[in-house]
């Protein structure tokens, strides 16, 4: 039992990070139908910029804030410089552009920072907390709490605020949104800023546990994508649930089967979802009338 609890804790911890990445996917997908594969790089940048600024002498909270803001700005820049000029291109082309952006960010991080693995201190110390024979790091609670807070914030934003509903309207029909007076370019900018900021936050929260390096982004992107697909692409509830589920599946696979298969778990899930329920757990079957 305590063994299972231990796997559960570690699954929830990584799952929270995947959930944050999946939420990032969801926001951009909702605003533009684009699956942004640079999402994982935002996580990497969050960790790397925080480490770099902290090493340069900034206190940790300030370093984290700098990382989140800088990453959000980079997200906006990617939208303006890479996605924006290709507006009107097929969605597949835009997705390939985001893969390009991902490769670029990874290379740039390698040049600007270095190729070492980095970390910074956990926020509330390293003394593990005990629960029913298993232990959990205080930092895990930060990560899980962070995912829940972001989810609730996004949920309120999309359901309650006019701006949030403008984002949903844009995703539903861009031209119609413009007709009722919504500035769809601003909606895109906002979505990229939000999505990149959330990715960076995930990186900030997770780095004391998972460590960071210039090349950790792609792993987060794929797991987060698996989470978003499992939950139903475009649905925030699905992203949250899907992210946590992928984390749990991974941890249980590692615990009960073998840690060698851990990495494969997420990909098996992607395949199963695509074969048997492409709309995911919470997704709606998409229909379009002409």
Partner 1 sequence: MTLLSVEGLGIAFGGIKAVHDVSFRVEPGEIVSVIGPNGAGKTTLFNMISGVYRPGAGRVLLEGEDVTGMAPFRLAQRGMSRTFQNLQIFQNMTVLENAIAGFHLQERGTVLADLFNLPSSRRRARQAEAGARELLARVGLERAADREAASLSYGSLKRLEIARALAMRPRVLLLDEPAAGCNAVETEEIDHLIAEVAASGVAILLVEHDMKMVMRISNHIVVLDHGEKIAEGAPAEVSRNPAVIAAYLGTEEAADADG
Nearer to partner 1 by Cβ, of 118 and 174: the residue is: 174
Q: How far is CA 38 from the centre of its chain?
A: 10
- Give, as ranges, the residues between 172 and 201 that touch partner 1 (CB under 8 A): 172-173, 175-184
Q: Between the CA atoms of 206, 207, 213 and 215, what dihedral angle is there, to the nearest 10 degrees? A: 0
Among 1, 56, 111, 162, binds partner 1 (CB under 8 A): 162
Q: Does 1 bind partner 1 (CB under 8 A)?
A: no
Shortest separation between residue 277's beta carbon and partner 1, angstroms: 19
Judged by CB under 8 A, the number of residues near partner 1 is 26
Give the separation between CA 228 and CA 19, rounded to whole angstroms: 8
| CB-CB contact of 217 with 36 (8 Å) | no
| Nearby residues of 78 by Cβ (< 8 Å), 6 or more positions away | 38, 98, 101, 192, 196
Burial tier of 156 (Cβ tally within 10 Å: 0-12, 13-18, 19+): exposed
Among 122, 136, 166, 216, binds partner 1 (CB under 8 A): 166
Biggest CA pair distance of the chain: 60
Q: Does 285 bind partner 1 (CB under 8 A)?
A: no
Shortest separation between residue 179's beta carbon and partner 1, angstroms: 6
Nearer to partner 1 by Cβ, of 59 and 153: the residue is: 153
Q: Where are the alpha helices (DSSP H) in the chain?
A: 2-32, 39-55, 60-78, 91-112, 138-160, 162-172, 174-179, 184-210, 217-231, 236-252, 262-276
Nearer to partner 1 by Cβ, of 115 and 284: the residue is: 284
- Give, as ranges, the residues between 26 and 65 that touch partner 1 (CB under 8 A): none
| CB-CB contact of 226 with 267 (8 Å) | yes
Nearer to partner 1 by Cβ, of 91 and 152: the residue is: 152
Q: Does 87 bind partner 1 (CB under 8 A)?
A: no
Shortest separation between residue 166's beta carbon and partner 1, angstroms: 7
Nearer to partner 1 by Cβ, of 85 and 107: the residue is: 85
Nearer to partner 1 by Cβ, of 10 and 184: the residue is: 184
The residues binding partner 1 (CB under 8 A) are 156-157, 160-164, 166, 169, 172-173, 175-184, 284, 287-290
């Amino acid at each position: 039992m305590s063994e299972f609890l231990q796997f559960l804790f570690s699954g929830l911890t990584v799952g929270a990070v995947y959930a944050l990445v999946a939420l990032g996917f969801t926001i951009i997908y909702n605003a533009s139908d684009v699956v942004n594969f640079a999402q994982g790089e935002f996580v990497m940048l969050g960790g790397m910029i925080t480490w770099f600024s902290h090493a340069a002498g900034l206190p940790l909270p300030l370093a984290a804030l700098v990382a989140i803001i800088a990453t959000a700005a980079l997200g906006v820049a990617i939208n303006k410089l890479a996605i924006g000029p290709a507006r009107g291109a097929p969605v597949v082309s835009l997705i390939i552009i985001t893969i390009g952006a991902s490769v670029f960010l990874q290379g740039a991080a390698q040049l600007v920072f270095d190729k070492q693995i980095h970390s910074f201190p956990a926020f509330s110390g390293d003394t593990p907390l005990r629960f029913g024979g298993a232990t959990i790091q205080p930092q895990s609670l930060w990560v899980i709490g962070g995912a829940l807070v972001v989810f609730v914030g996004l949920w309120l934003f999309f359901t309650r605020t006019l701006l949030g509903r403008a984002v949903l309207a844009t995703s539903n029909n861009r031209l119609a949104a413009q007709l009722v007076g919504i500035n769809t370019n601003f909606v895109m900018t906002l979505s990229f800023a939000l999505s990149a900021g959330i990715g960076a936050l995930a990186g900030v929260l997770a780095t004391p546990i998972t460590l960071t390096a210039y090349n950790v982004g792609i792993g987060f992107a794929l797991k987060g994508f698996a989470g978003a697909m499992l939950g139903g692409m475009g649905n925030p509830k699905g992203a949250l649930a899907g992210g946590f589920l992928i984390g749990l599946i991974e941890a249980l696979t590692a615990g009960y089967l073998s840690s060698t298969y851990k990495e494969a778990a997420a990909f098996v899930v992607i395949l199963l979802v695509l074969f048997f329920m492409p709309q995911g757990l919470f997704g709606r079957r998409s229909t379009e009338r002409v």
